[in-house]
C-alpha cells in the first residue's frame, strides 16, 4: 500500500487489520508522535507507546478481533463504532464496545487514535488467574 | 426548522442544543421508537425513555453543557466526540468525555442515539449528598 495515495479511511482500515495480529507492522502506519488515548485509562505517545499498551492489553490474550459496525470518514478524520474482542484460553471471548477516533496526517501516518469505552466493562470480563 | 429539509447533522445539532435546556423540546426531534443507548448503563426506548433517563441524570444538576469537539456526518449518520458537562450547586462541574452516534430517519427524526463513555469517570465525580 502506498500510504501517500491512500485515503484516511483506507489507512485506518489497514491499521486495524494489522494491529490485531502484528502491532509492529501496524505501527509502520503511525506518526512518530502519535497520541494513543484510551480515554478512561490514559494517553501514550509514539509507536513505542502503542506497543507498550498493546503488550499490556494482550497479556494472556490468544487472539484479538476488532469488529467495525459503523465507520464515518470526512477529510483526515475517521470515527467508528466497534466491538473489540479478546480471546483468553481456548474459547473465552471478552467483548468491549468501543467508539474510536483517528486523525491521519498529510504524510499518510496516523497522528491521533482515541478510543472511548467503559473500562469496568472490560476489567469485569477478564478471566482472573 | 423544517425537519424534512434539514440534514442529519443539522437535526443532531438542533437536538443537542435543545436537550441540555429542555428535554421535552429536544424530543420533538426524535422518533417514537428511538433507541437511546448509554452503552455502559443500558438502553431505553422512545421519547419517554429519553426523558426518564434525563430526569435521572439531571438529579441535582443545575446546568448542562454538551461541548462538541469533532463531528463527522455521512448520509443519515452523525458521530461526534464531546465533553458533556454537568453543574452541581453553584460551581462544581463534572466533565464526561463522550463519543456519540446518531442515526436520522427519512422523516428527519432521530432513530438511534448511542453514547460511549466510562461510567466510573462520571460516577466518581458526582458530588455526594
Q: What is the distance between the alpha carbons of residues A34 and A31, in angstroms, rounded to a whole number? A: 5
Per-residue pLDDT of chain B (129 residues; tens, 9 = 90+): 444 568 999 999 999 999 999 999 999 999 999 999 999 999 999 999 999 999 999 889 999 999 999 999 999 999 999 999 999 999 999 999 999 999 999 999 999 999 999 999 999 999 986
A120 to chain B, any CB pair closer than 8 A? The answer is: yes
Q: Which of residues 52-71 of B touch A (CB under 8 A)?
A: 70
Among B81, B100, B121, select the one facing A40 at the smallest CB separation: B121
Q: What is the distance between the alpha carbons of residues B4 and B10, in angstroms, rounded to a whole number? A: 11
For the segment A29-57, the average pLDDT, to the nearest whole number, is: 97
The set of catalytic residues of B is 84, 115
Q: What is the distance between the alpha carbons of residues A28 and A18, in angstroms, rounded to a whole number? A: 10
Q: What is the distance between the alpha carbons of residues A108 and A11, in angstroms, rounded to a whole number? A: 7
CATH number corresponding to A3-123: 3.10.450.50
B81 to chain A, any CB pair closer than 8 A? The answer is: yes
Neighbours of B129 (CB within 10 A): 3
Q: What is the distance between the alpha carbons of residues B10 and A112, in angstroms, rounded to a whole number? A: 27
Q: Which residues in chain B touch residue A120, judged by CB atoms under 8 angstroms apart?
A: 40, 118-120
pLDDT digits (tens, 9 = 90+) for B6-38: 899 999 999 999 999 999 999 999 999 999 999
A101 to chain B, any CB pair closer than 8 A? The answer is: yes
8 A C-beta contact, residue B68 and residue B16: yes
Antiparallel, parallel or unpaired: β B42-45 and B61-74: unpaired
Q: Which of residues 28-47 of B touch A (CB under 8 A)?
A: 39-40
A115 is catalytic: yes
**B42: alpha, beta or left? (left if phi > 0; alpha if psi -120 to 50):** left
Neighbours of B71 (CB within 10 A): 20
| Mean pLDDT (chain A, rounded) | 95
A101, B99: Cβ pair inside 8 Å? yes
A48 is catalytic: no
Query: What counts of helices (H) and strands (E) characterise chain B?
Result: 4, 6
Q: Residue A3: pLDDT above 50?
A: no
Q: How far are the Cα atoms of A71, A112, B38, B52 from residue B43, in angstroms, in the given order?
A: 21, 30, 6, 11
> pTM to 2 decimals?
0.94
For the domain made up of B3-121, the CATH class stated in words is alpha beta
Report yes or no for ipTM above 0.85. Answer: yes
pLDDT digits (tens, 9 = 90+) for A49-100: 999 999 998 889 999 999 999 999 999 999 999 999 999 999 999 999 999 9
Domain boundaries defined on chain A: 3-123
Amino acid at each position: 500500500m502506498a500510504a501517500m495515495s491512500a485515503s484516511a479511511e483506507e489507512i485506518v482500515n489497514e491499521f486495524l487489520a494489522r494491529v490485531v495480529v502484528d502491532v509492529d507492522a501496524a505501527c509502520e502506519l503511525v506518526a512518530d508522535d502519535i497520541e494513543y488515548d484510551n480515554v478512561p485509562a490514559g494517553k501514550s505517545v509514539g509507536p513505542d507507546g502503542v506497543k507498550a499498551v498493546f503488550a499490556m492489553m494482550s497479556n494472556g490474550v490468544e487472539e484479538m478481533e476488532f469488529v467495525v459496525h459503523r465507520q464515518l470518514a470526512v477529510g483526515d478524520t475517521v470515527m467508528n463504532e466497534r466491538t473489540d474482542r479478546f480471546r483468553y484460553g481456548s474459547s473465552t471471548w471478552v467483548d468491549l464496545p468501543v467508539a474510536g477516533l483517528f486523525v491521519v496526517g498529510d504524510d499518510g501516518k496516523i497522528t491521533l487514535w482515541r478510543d472511548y469505552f467503559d473500562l469496568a466493562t472490560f476489567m469485569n470480563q477478564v478471566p482472573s488467574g
